[in-house]
Amino acid sequence: MKILIIGTGYVGATTAMVFAEIGWQVTGLDIDAGKIERLRQGRLHFYEPGLEELISKHVQSGRLRFTTDKETAIAGHDVIFLCVGTPSRPDGSADLSYIQQAAEDIGRSMNGYKLVVTKSTVPVGTQEQIKSWMKAAQRQPSHFDVASNPEFLREGKAVEDALRPDRIVIGTDSTRATEQLQTLYRSFTCPWIVTKPRTAELIKYASNSFLATKISYMNELARLCDKLEVNVKEVAEGMGLDPRIGSSFLQAGLGYGGSCFPKDVSELIMTSRKHEANLHILDQVVEVNHTQFAYLLDKARSRLGGFAHKSIAILGLAFKPDTDDIREAPALRMIDQLLLEQANVRLFDPVAPLPVRPSYGVVTVCSSAEEALRSAEAIILCTEWPEFGQLDWEGAKALLAEPNFFDGRNMMDAGRMRGFGYYYQGIGNDH
């Protein structure tokens, strides 16, 4: 079986690498000639630890190829994975135009049986839609199957997650498709779920929304912890020892960002409304997430007596460490509000660049954390990059105009920071 991956973004590039790594012949297809040119040289267009090395290895071994030639690529491959983007529309629903385009391209260019597999996160019912888009575009009738095989990898851990998944979910109504996918993934030993396409599609949304719910629950609980003078980290530790709860995704902080959680929670809310079975709980998950940055900012504002003309060091911009992704990053909300209140913002992130926007012209982008701290009246830590933990905080105090530290990720040890003479506050761990 020769595998074609349509879309060489985050999920597409990782999926291509995985199949090449386990021995298959893979082609990556994209309409962006620039991306394809870089990939042909074994270079990635985004930051992901370890991925570029493996892509480059398989470009050299000849197992991984890249092209912009749709028609030839579709005609020459038996199994086609859809890994194109499904961005949010302004109303929160998923925009399926790239999926539709790919389905129509396949329908038009197919010359025999094809198995089309959706890796992109798509709303429940999309498998049926893909079938009808393909059918409508066909020039001559030809048999095909469409399966759903959602991807659960995390940014920053893509290689590890994709090579060692904790489950493989396959949604299909065809035995032939199931058998082909079982062959493709035969070297994986993790649990499998073979189910209806709609179930597979919903598993992805339900998983991400559940994880987002865990985070918002802890974030709201952290606000209560502040009032009760209880440390939320200790509460999380005690909760996490119960295997029914699990210890992951219990870290309170500035809230979740990234390309998946915000988008997937919105889409599931839309789906639930459409079917008049509202998931009200998710409205509150979103509300807590949107207000969490303001919760920490309020603490800083009352300490400083307002932000106007105060110098504030922002440490971290990426929505989480080990990525340059700033989509829906809480740090951006923080910066926007600080600028609105006329603060002087000094920013440092080891990897993520500040987007070009007229309002960001006044932000001082620094090349080290120490530089960002210089003469600052407060530090607001937004991303828990490991290097921030290793900084000589005792020595760094001398760089600051005022030693105020607001820890948006509860990264530091409160007692230690206070011992160094900082006024230190986190989220639910101020005691």
Encoded tokens for 38: 């870089």
Unique residue bearing structure tokens 């539709």: 100
Flag whether 86 is marked binding: yes
Minimum CB separation from ligand UDX for residue 14, in Å? 10
Which member of 83, 225, 260, 382 is catalytic? 260
Flag whether 196 is marked binding: no
Q: Is 260 a catalytic residue?
A: yes
Minimum CB separation from ligand UDX for residue 271, in Å? 17
Instruction: Tell which residue, 269, 123, 271, 97, has the closest CA to residue 200.
Output: 123
Among residues 251 and 311, whose Cβ is nearest to ligand UDX?
251
Minimum CB separation from ligand UDX for residue 244, in Å? 17
End-to-end CA distance of the chain: 59
Flag whether 204 is marked binding: yes
Residue by residue, DSSP assigns 39-105 as HHTT--SS--TTHHHHHHHHHHHTSEEEE--HHHHHHT-SEEEE----PBPTTS-B--HHHHHHHHH
Q: Which residues contact 298 (CB under 8 A, 6 or more apart)?
A: none
Flag whether 152 is marked binding: yes
For 252-309, what is the HEC assignment?
CCCCCCCCCHHHHHHHHHHHHHHCCCCCHHHHHHHHHHHHHHHHHHHHHHHHHCCCCC
Closest chain position to ligand UDX (CB): 260
Minimum CB separation from ligand UDX for residue 431, in Å? 20
Among residues 155 and 349, whose Cβ is nearest to ligand UDX?
155
Flag whether 35 is marked binding: yes
Minimum CB separation from ligand UDX for residue 280, in Å? 22
Among residues 27 and 231, whose Cβ is nearest to ligand UDX?
231
Flag whether 251 is marked binding: yes
* Interface positions with ligand UDX (CB under 6 A): 151-155, 208, 211, 215, 249-251, 253, 256-258, 260-261, 319-320
Q: For residue 183, count CB atoms less than 10 angstroms from its CB and return exposed for 0-12, middle for 13-18, buried for 19 or more.
A: exposed
Flag whether 121 is marked binding: yes
Minimum CB separation from ligand UDX for residue 223, in Å? 14
Encoded tokens for 260: 């998946």
Distance CA 196, CA 36 (A): 34
Distance CA 61, CA 20 (A): 9
Among residues 208 and 213, whose Cβ is nearest to ligand UDX?
208
Among residues 211 and 351, whose Cβ is nearest to ligand UDX?
211
Distance CA 372, CA 347 (A): 6
Are residues 51 and 28 in contact, defined by beta-carbon separation less than 8 angstroms? no
Instruction: Tell which residue, 139, 144, 138, 192, has the closest CA to residue 170.
Output: 192
Among residues 74 and 169, whose Cβ is nearest to ligand UDX?
169
Instruction: Enumerate the known binding-site residues for NAD(+).
Output: 30, 35, 86, 121, 155, 263, 327
Instruction: Enumerate the known binding-site residues for substrate.
Output: 152-155, 204, 249-253, 257, 320
Write out the catalytic residue numbers.
260
Instruction: Enumerate the known binding-site residues.
Output: 30, 35, 86, 121, 152-155, 204, 249-253, 257, 263, 320, 327
